[in-house]
C-alpha cells in the first residue's frame, strides 16, 4: 500500500492535490467518493491505453489482435475496482453520523457509479482505438468504390468462366385459397409451394416481379421469373449503408460486365486488380464450408486463382473494425457496461449504508432465496408469468419489511437484510413488469388462438423505456425511502 | 479571565511549561480570534520542536497581553445534557443484567464510571451512547429534543476501548472529521492544527495508524472526536493504553475541554484508574454486578467508616498485632492492606499507624473514594 501511495503522489499533479485538499476541507461526501482521483487516473489510463494501441502495429485487414489485451485490461480493471473499494472503505460520512443529507446519499451513489463506470470502460479502449484506426485507414467511400471496382475486375478477368444464363423460377397464379398452416409457435404461415411448382396469390406475384430481374408470361396464370447471374463476389454493404450509396442492381452489373469486356484491357485490369488485392487482402484466410456455395455465378476455384478469398477476408476484417461501434453492438456493449457498473454501484451503495455483517448476510439470503425459488419453481412447474410474479412478490415483501424499520426500536437483521435486497432490486421492477405484460400477451394469444399486436420491436422499445424508468425510480427512491430507512436503521441500537 | 491569564503565568513561573502551553492554547481558542489562535499554534509548534531554545515566557506574555485585550468569552453556564432514568439492560444470551440506573449530566460535567471488569461499565456506556437497546427506562438528550437517532449519534461521541483502525493519513482523518462537523475551509485547517498541537500530536500527523503506538491511537481518536464537536463524549477505558504521564495529561485535558468556554461538553468515562479518575471527575459511580453501588455526593454513602489503604514492609500478623486492641479492622486484597474504623477519622487512623511504629511505604485515605468498594 505504501508503494501505491508513493505512485499516487508521483502521478498526482499539483492542481489535483489542491483540489483534493479543497474537497476534504469543504465537501467530505465528494472527497470520500474519490471521484476526482478515479477520474484523473482513469484519464491517465485511457490516454496511456489509447496511445499504446495507436502505436502497436495493427493491420485492419487482418484478424483483430485486441482480444488478449482486452482480457488483461479487464483483469486490471477488476484489480482497479478492488483498490477503489478499499479506498471507499476508508472514509464514510454516513457511518460517522456526519452531515449526510438526502442529496448527499444521491450524489454519493452517482459518484460511485461514475467512478465504477470509468474503471469498467477501460477494456473497451483497445476496440475503440482499433475501430478508429480502421476508419482512418479506409474511408467508407473508398471501400465502396474499391469493392465495386474489384467485382467488375474479377468478372472481367474471369470472363470466360462466368455463368451467363439467367436462372428461372416458374410460378402459377392461383385464385384458390392458399394453403395455410400453423408453425410450431402457433403463428399462421402461408405456404405457396407444392412439390413441383410454386403456387402463389396475385399480391405475391407482384411482389416477386419487383424483386426479380425479369418476368415472362408463358400462358394464362403461368409465369417465369428470371434472374441474371450475380457478379458480386465481394461486398461491403455496411460501408455502403453508412454513406447511403446504393449499389448497382444484379442486372446492371450483368450488363456492365458484358458490355465492357475488352480483351485488350485485360492486362491493365490485371495490374489494377493486383494493386487492389495488395491493398485489401488479408494474410490470414480461414476456409469455411459456405465458400464453395457462396458464389454460384463462378466456381470457387476460379476465385481462388485471383485470391478473392483473402480479399474478402480483408474486407470483412476492415468492415468489422470500422463498424464495430455501429448497429446493435454499442447498445449491447452499453448494456454490459451499464449493468456491471450499476450492479457494483448498488453493492457498494448497500455496503456503505449497512453494517458489514448484515451486508454479507444479505448476500447469503439472496443466494439462498434464489436456490429455494429455483426448487419452488421446478416443483410447482411455474412458467414465465409465475416466475415474474414471484419476483414481484419478493420485492413487495422486502419493501414492506424494510418499512418496518420506521417503527423498530432495535437494529433488526430481518429489516436490514430486507432493506438491502429491496435497495438492490427496486430499479428492476419496471423491467419485470414489461416482461410480465408481454408474457401475459403471449399467454392470451396462446389461449385464444387469435393474432394480437405482438411486435418484438415494440417490445424492445418498451424494454428500453422500462430500463430508463427503473433507473429514474431508483434515483427517486435513494433520497426518499432508502435515505429515511437507512438513516433510521443504521442509527438504531443493537439488540 | 484574569484568573486564566494568571493561572498560565503561574505555570510558567513554576516551570510547568507544557501545561502552560496547553492552557495558552485553550485560552486562545476560547477567545476565538483567528490570528491569535494562529499565533498560539505557532508558539506551540516551536515549543514542541525545540523547547530549550525558546523563550516561552516572553512569547506567552506577549500573547497573553493581546488575549487580555480582547473581550473575554462568556462564562460557561452548565445546562442539562443527558437525563437517564432507571435504565436497565439484560442480555438475551447471558446471566448479566444492568439493574435500573439513573443519572444526569450537564455540560462541563465529568462523570467517572468505575468498577471491576465484567460488572457492566461498558454496557452502561454503550446504552448511553445509543449503541445498545435498553430494556426499560428512558434516556433523554436534553440539548436535542425530538431528534432522530442519527442526529443523537451525531451529538454523542463514543470512544470504545478497542478503537477501530483508521485508514489513510492521520491528518486526513482529522480534516475529514472536522469537515463532517461542518468546519470547512481555513477554519478546518486551523482547528486541526490546534488539536494536533493541543494534544501534542503534530509530529505524528503525517503517519498512518499502524505506525503509532496504542497510546497515541487513543489520543488521535480523542482529537478526531473532539473535532467532531459532540455535545456528550463517552470514553470506555481511555486510560488503558496510556502511560502514567499520558494518563494524567489526558485526564486533565479532558477536564479542561469539558469546561471550555469554546465548546463545553459533558464527559463520561470508565476506567480502572480510580485515583486518577477521582481527581478529575465531578462525580464517580461505582458499579458492581450491574448495580450502581456508590456515587460520590450521594447521601447514602456510609461516611461513618473511615478507610485508608497502605503498603507496609511488615507481615500481616505483625500488622494485626500492632493494631490489636483498637477499633481498626484490617483487610488484605493481595496488594494493599485496608484499614477501616468506625471510631477514628482517617487522619487519626494514619496517625495511629505511625504511632505504632509500623513501617509504611505507601498510604492513602480512601474514605470518600470508590476504591473502598473494591475487594
pLDDT digits (tens, 9 = 90+) for B2-44: 478 888 999 988 888 888 999 999 989 988 889 999 999 999 9
The DSSP line for B347-362 is HHHHHHHHHTT--EEE
**Is residue A90 less than 8 Å (CB to CB) from chain B?**
yes
Give phi and psi for A410, each to the nearest 5. Answer: -130, 155
Contact B180 A495 (CB under 8 A): no
Check B185 against A26: CB less than 8 A apart: yes
Cell of residue B59, nine digits: 512569547
Residue B1, pLDDT above cutoff 50: no
Interface test with A, best of B149, B153, B160 (most A CBs within 10 A): B149
Residue B73 pLDDT level (bands cut at 50, 70, 90) = low
ipTM over 0.85: no
pLDDT, tens digit, 9 for 90 and up, residues B290-340: 888 777 766 555 567 888 888 888 888 888 888 887 778 888 877 788 888
A27 CB within 8 Å of a chain B CB: yes
Domain boundaries, given as residue ranges, for chain B: 2-69, 80-295, 306-373
Instruction: Indicate the pairing of strand B337-341 with strand B306-312.
Output: antiparallel
Residue A231, C-alpha cell as written in the block: 457478379
Q: Please state, in angstroms and rounded to a whole number, the distance separating the CA atoms of residues A171 and A173.
A: 6
What confidence score (pLDDT) does residue A1 get?
Answer: 58
In this structure, is residue A34 part of a structural domain?
Answer: no
Position A395 in a domain: yes
In a domain, A433, yes or no: yes
Give ∠ CA A320-A326-A328 in degrees, rounded to 5. 100
Domain boundary among A189, A207, A227: A227
A215 at interface of B, judged by CB pairs closer than 8 A? no
Inter-chain residue contact B176 with A32, CB threshold 8 Å:
yes
For residues B219 and B250, is the Cβ–Cβ distance under 8 A? Answer: yes
How far is CA A25 from each of CA A113, A385, B186, rounded to the nearest angstrom?
A: 23, 53, 8
Band the pLDDT of B53: cuts 50, 70, 90: confident
Contact at CB, B175 and A27, closer than 8 angstroms: no
pLDDT digits (tens, 9 = 90+) for B74-93: 667 788 889 999 999 988 77
Q: At what angle do helices A102-120 and A35-55 cross, to 10 degrees?
A: 20
Cβ contact B148–A491 (<8 Å): yes
Per-residue pLDDT, averaged over B149-160, amounts to 90
**Chain B contact present for A488, CB below 8 A:** yes
* Minimum distance, in Å, between the CA of residue B53 and any CA atom of chain A: 33
Which residues of chain A make contact with B179, given a CB cutoff of 8 A?
24-28, 31, 98
Higher-pLDDT residue of A430 and B353 is: A430
A125-155: burial string, b at 16+ Cβ within 10 Å, e else: bbbbbbbbbbbeebebeebbebbbebbbbbb
Last residue of a domain, one of A180, A207, A227: A227
Q: Is residue A387 part of a domain?
A: yes
Chain B residues with at least one Cβ partner in A under 8 Å: 92, 127, 130-134, 148-150, 152-154, 167-168, 172-173, 175-177, 179-182, 184-185, 188-189, 228
Q: Which residue of B has its CA nearest to A490?
A: B150
- Find chain B residues with C-beta within 8 A of A406's C-beta: none
Looking at the domain B80-295, which fold is it? Rossmann fold (3.40.50)
Question: What is the number of structural domains in chain A?
Answer: 2
Per-residue pLDDT of chain A (495 residues; tens, 9 = 90+): 566 667 777 788 889 999 999 999 999 999 999 999 999 999 999 999 999 999 998 888 988 888 999 999 999 999 999 989 888 878 888 988 888 899 999 999 999 999 999 999 999 999 999 999 999 999 999 999 999 999 899 888 888 888 888 888 888 877 655 545 455 554 444 544 444 567 777 777 788 888 888 888 887 778 888 888 888 888 888 888 888 777 788 888 889 888 888 888 889 999 999 999 999 888 766 665 455 545 555 666 667 778 888 888 899 999 989 888 887 788 899 999 999 999 999 999 999 999 999 999 999 999 999 999 999 999 988 888 999 999 999 999 999 999 999 999 899 999 999 999 999 999 999 999 999 998 888 887 776 655 555 556 688 888 999 999 999 999 999 999 999 999 999 999 987
Whether A495 contacts chain B with CB within 8 A: yes
Which residues on B lie below 8 Å from A101 (Cβ)? none
A491:B181 CB<8 A? no
Whether A495 sits inside 8 A of B133 (CB atoms) is: yes
pLDDT of residue B184: 93
Domain final residue pick, A227, A262, A297: A227
Is A97 in contact with B153 (Cβ distance < 8 A)? Answer: yes
pLDDT at A197: 61
Asked whether the beta carbons of residue A494 and residue B149 sit closer than 8 angstroms, the reply is no
Considering the domain B306-373 in this protein, what is its CATH number?
3.30.70
Quick check: A28 and B182 CB within 8 A? no
Contact A26 B179 (CB under 8 A): yes
CB contact under 8 A, B131 and A410: no
Choice among A193-197, A303-307, B146-150, B154-158 with the minimum mean pLDDT: A193-197
Residue with cell 467518493: A33
Say whether A493 and B177 touch across the interface (CB within 8 A).
no
Q: Closest Cα of chain B to A5: distance in Å?
A: 9
Strand partners, B337: B310, B332
**Domain-embedded: residue A399:** yes
End-to-end distance of chain A based on CA atoms, in angstroms? 37
What domain range includes position A478? 354-495
Distance CA A42, CA A114 (A): 11
CB nearest to A410's CB, from B127, B133, B150? B133
Amino acid at each position: 500500500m505504501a508503494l501505491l501511495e508513493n505512485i499516487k503522489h508521483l502521478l498526482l499533479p499539483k492542481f489535483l492535490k489542491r483540489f483534493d485538499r479543497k474537497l476534504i476541507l469543504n465537501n467530505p461526501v465528494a472527497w470520500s467518493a474519490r471521484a476526482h482521483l478515479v477520474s484523473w487516473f482513469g484519464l491517465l489510463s485511457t490516454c496511456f491505453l489509447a496511445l499504446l494501441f495507436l502505436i502497436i502495429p495493427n493491420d485492419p485487414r487482418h484478424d483483430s489482435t485486441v482480444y488478449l489485451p482486452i482480457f488483461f485490461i479487464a483483469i486490471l480493471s477488476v484489480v482497479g475496482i478492488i483498490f477503489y473499494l478499499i479506498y471507499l472503505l476508508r472514509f464514510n460520512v454516513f457511518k460517522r453520523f456526519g452531515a449526510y443529507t438526502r442529496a448527499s446519499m444521491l450524489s454519493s451513489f452517482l459518484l460511485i457509479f461514475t467512478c465504477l463506470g470509468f474503471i469498467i470502460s477501460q477494456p473497451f479502449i483497445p476496440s475503440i482505438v482499433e475501430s478508429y484506426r480502421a476508419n482512418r485507414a479506409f474511408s467508407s467511400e473508398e471501400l465502396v468504390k474499391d469493392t465495386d471496382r474489384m467485382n467488375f475486375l474479377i468478372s472481367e478477368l474471369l470472363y470466360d468462366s462466368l455463368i451467363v444464363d439467367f436462372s428461372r423460377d416458374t410460378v402459377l397464379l392461383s385464385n384458390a385459397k392458399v394453403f395455410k398452416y400453423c408453425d410450431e409457435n402457433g403463428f399462421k404461415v402461408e405456404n405457396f409451394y407444392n412439390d413441383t411448382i410454386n403456387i402463389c396469390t396475385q399480391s405475391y406475384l407482384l411482389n416477386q416481379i419487383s424483386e426479380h430481374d425479369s418476368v415472362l408470361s408463358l400462358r394464362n396464370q403461368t409465369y417465369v421469373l428470371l434472374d441474371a447471374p450475380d457478379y458480386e463476389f465481394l461486398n461491403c454493404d455496411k460501408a455502403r449503408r453508412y454513406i447511403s450509396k446504393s449499389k448497382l442492381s444484379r442486372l446492371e452489373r450483368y450488363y456492365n460486365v458484358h458490355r465492357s469486356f475488352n480483351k485488350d484491357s485485360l492486362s491493365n485490369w490485371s495490374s489494377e486488380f493486383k494493386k487492389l488485392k495488395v491493398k485489401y487482402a488479408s494474410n490470414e484466410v480461414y476456409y469455411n464450408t459456405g465458400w464453395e456455395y457462396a458464389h454460384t455465378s463462378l466456381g470457387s476455384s476460379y476465385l481462388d486463382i485471383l485470391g478473392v478469398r483473402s480479399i474478402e477476408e480483408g474486407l470483412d476484417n476492415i468492415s468489422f473494425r470500422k463498424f464495430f461501434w455501429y448497429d446493435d453492438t454499442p447498445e449491447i456493449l452499453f448494456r454490459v457496461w451499464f449493468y456491471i457498473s450499476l450492479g457494483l454501484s448498488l453493492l457498494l451503495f448497500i455496503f456503505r449504508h449497512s453494517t458489514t455483517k448484515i451486508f454479507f448476510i444479505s448476500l447469503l439470503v439472496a443466494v439462498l432465496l434464489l436456490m429455494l425459488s429455483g426448487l419452488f419453481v421446478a416443483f410447482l412447474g411455474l412458467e414465465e408469468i409465475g416466475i415474474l410474479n414471484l419476483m414481484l412478490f419478493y420485492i413487495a415483501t422486502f419493501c414492506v419489511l424494510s418499512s418496518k424499520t420506521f417503527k423498530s426500536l432495535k437494529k433488526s437483521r430481518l429489516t436490514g437484510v430486507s432493506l438491502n435486497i429491496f435497495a438492490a432490486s427496486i430499479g428492476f421492477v419496471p423491467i419485470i413488469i414489461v416482461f410480465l405484460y408481454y408474457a401475459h400477451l403471449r399467454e392470451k394469444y396462446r389461449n385464444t388462438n387469435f393474432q394480437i399486436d405482438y411486435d418484438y420491436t415494440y417490445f424492445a422499445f418498451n424494454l428500453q423505456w422500462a430500463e430508463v424508468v427503473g433507473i429514474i425510480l431508483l434515483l427517486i427512491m435513494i433520497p426518499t425511502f432508502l435515505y429515511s430507512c437507512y438513516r433510521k436503521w443504521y442509527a438504531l441500537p443493537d439488540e | 479571565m484574569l484568573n486564566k491569564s494568571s493561572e498560565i503565568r503561574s505555570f510558567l513561573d513554576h516551570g510547568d511549561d507544557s501545561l502552560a502551553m496547553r492552557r495558552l492554547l485553550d485560552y486562545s481558542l476560547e477567545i476565538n480570534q483567528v490570528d491569535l489562535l494562529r499565533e498560539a499554534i505557532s508558539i506551540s509548534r516551536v515549543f514542541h520542536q525545540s523547547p530549550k531554545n525558546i523563550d516561552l515566557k516572553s512569547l506567552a506574555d506577549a500573547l497573553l497581553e493581546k488575549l487580555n485585550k480582547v473581550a473575554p468569552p462568556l462564562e460557561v453556564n452548565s445546562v442539562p445534557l443527558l437525563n437517564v432514568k432507571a435504565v436497565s439492560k439484560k442480555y438475551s444470551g447471558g446471566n448479566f443484567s444492568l439493574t435500573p440506573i439513573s443519572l444526569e449530566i450537564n455540560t462541563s460535567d465529568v462523570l467517572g464510571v468505575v468498577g471491576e471488569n465484567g460488572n457492566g461499565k461498558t454496557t452502561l456506556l454503550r446504552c448511553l451512547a445509543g449503541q445498545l437497546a435498553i430494556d426499560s427506562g428512558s434516556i433523554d438528550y436534553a440539548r436535542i429534543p425530538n431528534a432522530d437517532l442519527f442526529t443523537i449519534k451525531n451529538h454523542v461521541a463514543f470512544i470504545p476501548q478497542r478503537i477501530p483502525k483508521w485508514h489513510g493519513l492521520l491528518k486526513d482523518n482529522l480534516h475529514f472529521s472536522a469537515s463532517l462537523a461542518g468546519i470547512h475551509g481555513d477554519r478546518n485547517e486551523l482547528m486541526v492544527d490546534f488539536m494536533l498541537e493541543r494534544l501534542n500530536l503534530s509530529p505524528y500527523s503525517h503517519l498512518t495508524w499502524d505506525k503509532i503506538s496504542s497510546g497515541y491511537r487513543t489520543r488521535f481518536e480523542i482529537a478526531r472526536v473532539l473535532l467532531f464537536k459532540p455535545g456528550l463524549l463517552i470514553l470506555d477505558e481511555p486510560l488503558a493504553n496510556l502511560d502514567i504521564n499520558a494518563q494524567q495529561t489526558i485526564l486533565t485535558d479532558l477536564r479542561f475541554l469539558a469546561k471550555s468556554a469554546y465548546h463545553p461538553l459533558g464527559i463520561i468515562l470508565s476506567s480502572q484508574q480510580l485515583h486518577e479518575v477521582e481527581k478529575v471527575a465531578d462525580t464517580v459511580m461505582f458499579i458492581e454486578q450491574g448495580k450502581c453501588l456508590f456515587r460520590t455526593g450521594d447521601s447514602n454513602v456510609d461516611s461513618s467508616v473511615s478507610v485508608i489503604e497502605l503498603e507496609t514492609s511488615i507481615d500481616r500478623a505483625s500488622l494485626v498485632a500492632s493494631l490489636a486492641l483498637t477499633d481498626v479492622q484490617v483487610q488484605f486484597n493481595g496488594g494493599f492492606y485496608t484499614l477501616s474504623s468506625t471510631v477514628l477519622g482517617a487522619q487519626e487512623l494514619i496517625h495511629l499507624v505511625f504511632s505504632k511504629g509500623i513501617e509504611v511505604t505507601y498510604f492513602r485515605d480512601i474514605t470518600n473514594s470508590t476504591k473502598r468498594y473494591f475487594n
